[in-house]
Amino acid sequence: SFSLFFFFFLTNMTEKIHNTPCGKIHYWINKTAHNSTPQLVFLPGLTADHRLFDKQIEYFKSKYPIFVWDAPAHAASWPFDFNFNLTNKAHWLNEILQKEGFNKPIIIGQSMGAYVGQVYSEFYPNQLHGFISIDSAPLQREYTTAFEIWLLKRMEPIYRLCPWKMLLSSGSNGVSTTEYGRQLMLDMMTTYNTDKERYTRL
């Protein structure tokens, strides 16, 4: 698509693939920067993809090495078996970062991306150089009520009952204060126009 071409042209990012037992993870990387450390690792949130950070990547690409991915079962990282969890994602992320020589990563995670960053920090505290959480929440049990956990475990059938147009509207309008951000999220959500089942499972 034009937007994908524009992303490659604008940022000079190189697409790569990391194989896992559940499927292939597509990620984009650019190491041609004035500084070799730290490295910026951008992790989009649930149902979003690498385009979420287009403007940040354009700004930082000449300053620091850059990484961004389509999370497992998202966008280009599909098809993908749903037999994985946050721990798997953190380990796969580490495998990629080690392979690419990202030894001082600063993880910038939006929503679910920040959850992955928190799990990464639990397993690899000595490797993490920094962590930025955007519109996310702590994973520790003391920050979550029993009712919230009960509700979270039942969200999939709730999403199945919601009309798709309503999900598109609420999902795109509620994530940004700018027209650019709302339109970007709408564009990313349209990936699931013909696959609401995957959207609800995510």
CA dist 26 and 185 (Å) reads 19
Angle between helix 86-99 and helix 112-123 axes, rounded to 10 deg: 70
What is the pLDDT at residue 148?
93
The model scores a pTM over 0.75:
yes
pLDDT of residue 174: 86
User: What's the confidence (pLDDT) of residue 8?
Assistant: 46
**Res 183: pLDDT:** 96
Q: What is the pLDDT of residue 137?
A: 93
Residue 11: the pLDDT is 56
CA–CA distances in Å: residue 51 to residues 13, 39, 54, 66, 74: 12, 18, 5, 13, 12
Rounded to the nearest angstrom, the gap between the alpha carbon of residue 192 and the centroid of all alpha carbons in its chain is 16
Write down the pLDDT at residue 175: 87
- Beta partners for 137? none
Amino acid at 103: N
d(C-alpha 193, C-alpha 163), whole Å: 12
Spell out the per-residue pLDDT of the chain, length 202, in tens.
444 544 444 458 999 999 999 999 999 999 999 999 999 999 999 999 999 999 999 999 999 999 999 999 999 999 999 999 999 999 999 999 999 999 999 999 999 999 999 999 999 999 999 999 999 999 999 999 999 999 999 999 999 999 999 999 999 998 889 999 999 999 999 999 999 999 999 9
The reported pLDDT for the residue numbered 9 is: 44
Burial code of 36-53, b = ≥16 C-beta within 10 A, e = fewer? eebbbbbbbbebbbbbbb
Query: What is the DSSP pairing of strand 105-110 with strand 39-43?
Result: parallel
